[in-house]
Structure 1
């Protein structure tokens, strides 16, 4: 009886395929707290593996319109998937040309993470709800009281652990303003930093705080 022939095994090595990393460029007006937060975020292993985040700080602390124009120029790079601008509204005196900056960003597909009155409102939301109007000075004072910092530098560790709670609170503020028809720039307090968080960390569902 002739033995049954078996098919030879394919001994070629199979190479693992890895998803291509996205490239996101973020333009900031701040030189301390915003970059400290974003740099810590991009160092998280699951974000680093999927997304290359480049943070560009305007050397002259440019106004929102300047940041948007820089982002428009950079968005022409074929290697860049998304450009974001992170800036504040400021109260009682607003940044100049805010409306123009927002219209221009929308026209050119530039994403915005805008905090009203300032980035410190986003920091506050990591610890507690904030539904009452705030000036910039009040937001800065409350933020420092919550995390105990003295200078401008930020310890991002306690914030990363609470980032999804902050995102939920920011989303609830956005829903409230939509319901009350309080349009920009009168949507104080508000922050769309949660939209930037979702862009760099899309795999994290609401309420799922990954370990650092």
Structure 2
């Protein structure tokens, strides 16, 4: 039996000029497609951007569907959905894929990233796992660690931050698929912008295309920046599109 597909589709995304007063800012509708490898962890996290304030004024609807596919299949599915949308005259403004290195073969992982780039699809990959993005909310991680240790590390970091506070999460134990992770990170006082800065700085230490060797590394910060309304190039693209300037 074929594995079910996991797709996160984001629609009606509104981008604000970050210099504008968001109360009176002009909303610009756009369409973003995100195709995930994971069943729930990544979709649940990205879904949180429409449920919380201070997300750069972004407003969108999300539909989840399916379950686990591998790195190459994620890119292939993204290409298929992107092209289908174009054929239906409802093109996406940008398409993203989200997947991890995990235990996938090094060549397949590297080739999936190259395949995404060659098809003009943006790639929020992580080596070794998506949870590395959570860790960057607490510490500037520059040394690798087995993905099997991510759960214990996140559990420890959250408990340290919430120790002595009145919170239902004081005895927190990290589990995949937790739909409240972004809320928990905020409760811990984590600075999302600092996490972006740390992840970006670490990513820039690698200068070759052997992506399986870029460890630790996550590109999730790039997608988060877009969803926060802080991807300047994307915002300008949308504005120029709306005004007819290419």
Length-normalised TM-score, structure 2: 0.66
1:177 correspondence with 2:213: no
1:157 matched residue in structure 2: 183
Task: Give, in whole Å, the separation in 1 of the partners of 2:174 and 2:203.
Answer: 30
SS at match of 1:27: strand
Task: Give, in whole Å, the separation in 1 of the partners of 2:193 and 2:106.
Answer: 28
Could you tell me whether the CA contact under 8 Å between 2:140 and 2:198 is conserved in 1? yes
1:188 matched residue in structure 2: 215
Task: Give, in whole Å, the separation in 1 of the partners of 2:139 and 2:191.
Answer: 10
- Cα RMSD of the aligned pairs, angstroms, is 2.8
2:70 matched residue in structure 1: 63
Aligned residues: 186
Could you tell me whether the CA contact under 8 Å between 1:87 and 1:114 is conserved in 2? yes
Task: Give, in whole Å, the separation in 1 of the partners of 2:157 and 2:95.
Answer: 31
Q: Which moved more, 1:154-163 or 1:34-43?
A: 154-163
1:11 matched residue in structure 2: none
SS at match of 1:21: strand
Give 1:144 shift. 2.8
Could you tell me whether the CA contact under 8 Å between 1:26 and 1:53 is conserved in 2? no
Q: 1:25-75 CA deviation, whole Å, 9 max, x = no partner?
A: 11112223222211112334565954535454542x100111111110111
Task: Give, in whole Å, the separation in 1 of the partners of 2:38 and 2:51.
Answer: 19
For the structure 1 residues 96 and 43, does the alpha-carbon distance in structure 2 shift closer, same or farther, using more than 3 Å as the test?
A: farther
Q: Which moved more, 1:112-121 or 1:100-109?
A: 100-109
SS at match of 2:211: coil
Counterpart among 109, 125, 134 of residue 114 in structure 1: 125
1:79 matched residue in structure 2: 91
Could you tell me whether the CA contact under 8 Å between 2:106 and 2:212 is conserved in 1? no
Task: Give, in whole Å, the separation in 1 of the partners of 2:114 and 2:231.
Answer: 30
- Unaligned runs of 5+ residues in structure 2 are 1-23, 159-171, 233-246
- Unaligned runs of 5+ residues in structure 1 are 1-15, 206-212
Give 1:94 shift. 4.0
For the structure 1 residues 138 and 57, does the alpha-carbon distance in structure 2 shift closer, same or farther, using more than 3 Å as the test?
A: farther
1:146 correspondence with 2:148: no
